[in-house]
Structure 1
Amino acid sequence: MLRKILRRLKRNIISPVSWESLRRLEPLSTTFGFDRGTPVDRYYIEQFLSANKHLIHSNVLEIAESNYSRKFGENVSRFEVLHVQPGKQVTIQGDLTNYASLPANHIDCFICTQTFNFIYDFKTAIAGAHYLLKPGGVLLATLAGITQLSAYDMKQWGDYWRFTPQSATKVFGEIFGEENIEITSYGNVLACTAILQGIAAEELSVAELQHNDPVYPVIITVKAKKASHGIDQR
């Protein structure tokens, strides 16, 4: 709560947004707006997960932590966490590009937000997500569209890709089957401006955030279902 109050003070008193003059060479925030409030992409991610919370049940997997699984999950029997390194919450130490490190046909719902853009061999990683799912299991993924690069992730493992609805449709359709995927996008030119500048979602109105223009996607969302006969035995 104290952190939220401090962020609000920074936005409103220390460095309020001057929408009339964004002719500047430095952004307001280099951390997507985390230091000012809720990053715009996180606002959209939570909308997507909330709209699909009925799919977040039984054995649910997330990357690095289980925050979204716990926030949006319904009737979750097990919270699984995947990471390449061991950790307190990690239940599966593995790599999406290395099938030998992953349990096959194991997960009912895989929440994979803003991850594939940090994996150089993203197509193999998407196939790895398919490999993890039980037949009938669902992948709920989000992909970076028009947004900042992540300086932190570039140093850790790399920040390689930005996607479009068209590229997402093509690559996920090749792996899951076009009939088993649903691709959408969230954003507009103002939302893109906000995330590039590091302006928080709280500094925009709901109407401004909710307006959707597919030419300016902040994020692309993927709902992909593994075919009920699609047992992986790689």
Structure 2
Amino acid sequence: MPKQYVPNAFLKVEDSQLYAIFAWSQRTAEIIQSKSWLTILEIFIHEHSLENAYQIFQKIKLEPIAQKVIQEIKKYEQLLENALVFLADGSLTIFGKGFRSFIEKEMQYELGSLSRETYQVLPQLFSQYQLKDDLESIENIEDFRKLVEHLENLGLLSPATGSIDWGDLKKTVPICQAFGLTRGTPVDRYYLSKFLKEIQPQIGGNILEIGGTPKDKDFYQINQGASYQILNLEAGPGVDIVGDAHDVSVIKPESFDSVIIFNVLEHCYAPWIVVENIFTWLKPGGKCFAMVPSAIRIHATPVDYWRPLPDAFVWMYKNFSQHKLYVYGNPTTVIASYHGIAVEELTSEELDAYHPDYPVATCIVAEK
């Protein structure tokens, strides 16, 4: 089935510049660069087929703005400073109070009918802003297709409603129930390896790992000359300190230069207390190296309490003198992590792409 599209955008004017913003997102707004972007986005509100959209584009791209569009848009021009323009399947709506209008259902002005009739609402609404006039440069369907794909990659166009190909993902059980281990390397292991490459030179001195195993030192490629001790709830081979990380008394203050705690804090009933204790156990200038999964299936070993997000992680480490956050993930790897799709089934581009609203692994280096 040929691919079909629908717009997925909020447009906003700020400092005399037109942007596409991403709703309730940490992602940076995208500058609307060209008149062609507006025309294409408006066409796909109503016509989802690429071929049909191209025919409409060719027909209207050089037509003068209809007088009735000019007259109607005059009613809304004074709103643009505070408004959002919402583009969706069959809908072009001005939210006069921005997102407040979206939530409160006030000052909403629907221009979908006029848009369907003319495909000229967006060009006229934003005619006073300096956009590149590139309409004539799109000479054939391949030029058009490339621009459509670019807008899709930016997140401004999406598969049309009802046209998503779920394929093997439309399952109510995971593809691999063991995080991806039956297929290859779990996604979170990939991000842990990336984090380790960043931090390995900083780990040294007297090292404490919380919740680790003796083999971890080799996996982490820690300096072989460093002192390395393991704190765990239960006694076992290679465990040096048996105790609860929530109990500050299990270790003397200012005992360690480095503390490693990977994939443990989510299993702590009060992870902020554990972080406070780590602060106490570190020497001045010592560092904590931590990772938590932000998107992974529940794994009760023995219990699973939390999925700390980046803001929560920063808050937990607020008493440290400085910190650096490392966040990894995007919508594709969130799905892969939950479904147990392995690293080997994804490209490096898919794994390394970053979207701030879709963390899979959240890591931090914090210095006392």
Is the CA contact (8 Å cut-off) linking 1:187 and 1:219 kept in structure 2?
yes
Are residue 163 (structure 1) and residue 308 (structure 2) matched?
Answer: yes
Are residue 124 (structure 1) and residue 266 (structure 2) matched?
Answer: no
Cα distance change of structure 1 residues 73 and 19 upon mapping to structure 2, 3 Å threshold = farther
Is the CA contact (8 Å cut-off) linking 2:195 and 2:326 kept in structure 1?
no
TM-score by length of 2: 0.52
Quote the residue 1:94 is aligned against: 243
Cα distance change of structure 1 residues 66 and 46 upon mapping to structure 2, 3 Å threshold = farther
Give the distance between the partners of 1:200 and 1:190, measured in 2 at CA: 12
Give the distance between the partners of 2:182 and 2:243, measured in 1 at CA: 31
Quote the residue 1:13 is aligned against: none
Are residue 42 (structure 1) and residue 184 (structure 2) matched?
Answer: no
1:79 to 228, 249, 257: 228
Are residue 176 (structure 1) and residue 320 (structure 2) matched?
Answer: yes
Over the residues paired in the alignment, what is the CA RMSD in angstroms? 1.7
List aligned pairs for 1:104-119, cutoff 5 A: 104-119=253-268
Q: 1:187-227: per-residue Cα shift (whole Å, max 9, x none)?
A: 0100000010011111111111011111100011111011x
Is the CA contact (8 Å cut-off) linking 1:58 and 1:75 kept in structure 2?
no
Is the CA contact (8 Å cut-off) linking 1:56 and 1:72 kept in structure 2?
no
Q: 1:113-132: per-residue Cα shift (whole Å, max 9, x none)?
A: 01111001111111111122
Give the distance between the partners of 1:185 and 1:79, measured in 2 at CA: 26
Which blocks of at least 5 consecutive residues in structure 1 are unaligned?
1-17, 227-234
Q: Which moved more, 1:32-41 or 1:65-74?
A: 65-74
* Letter of the 1:198 counterpart: G
Q: 1:86-129: per-residue Cα shift (whole Å, max 9, x none)?
A: 11111111221101112321111111101111001111111111
Which blocks of at least 5 consecutive residues in structure 2 are unaligned?
1-164
Give the distance between the partners of 2:201 and 2:333, measured in 1 at CA: 27
Give the distance between the partners of 2:342 and 2:359, measured in 1 at CA: 17
Quote the residue 1:230 is aligned against: none
Quote the residue 1:54 is aligned against: 201
Are residue 225 (structure 1) and residue 367 (structure 2) matched?
Answer: yes
Are residue 134 (structure 1) and residue 283 (structure 2) matched?
Answer: yes
Quote the residue 2:155 is aligned against: none
Is the CA contact (8 Å cut-off) linking 1:60 and 1:69 kept in structure 2?
no
Q: Identical aligned pairs, as a percentage?
A: 30
Give the distance between the partners of 1:216 and 1:123, measured in 2 at CA: 23
User: Greater RCO between the two (CA within 8 Å, min separation 6)?
Assistant: 1
Cα distance change of structure 1 residues 22 and 32 upon mapping to structure 2, 3 Å threshold = same
Is the CA contact (8 Å cut-off) linking 1:96 and 1:102 kept in structure 2?
no
Give the distance between the partners of 2:225 and 2:191, measured in 1 at CA: 23
- CA drift at 1:52: 0.8
Is the CA contact (8 Å cut-off) linking 1:117 and 1:162 kept in structure 2?
yes
Alignment coverage as a number of residue pairs:
202
TM-score by length of 1: 0.81
Give the distance between the partners of 2:309 and 2:203, measured in 1 at CA: 25
Are residue 216 (structure 1) and residue 364 (structure 2) matched?
Answer: no
Greater gyration radius: 2
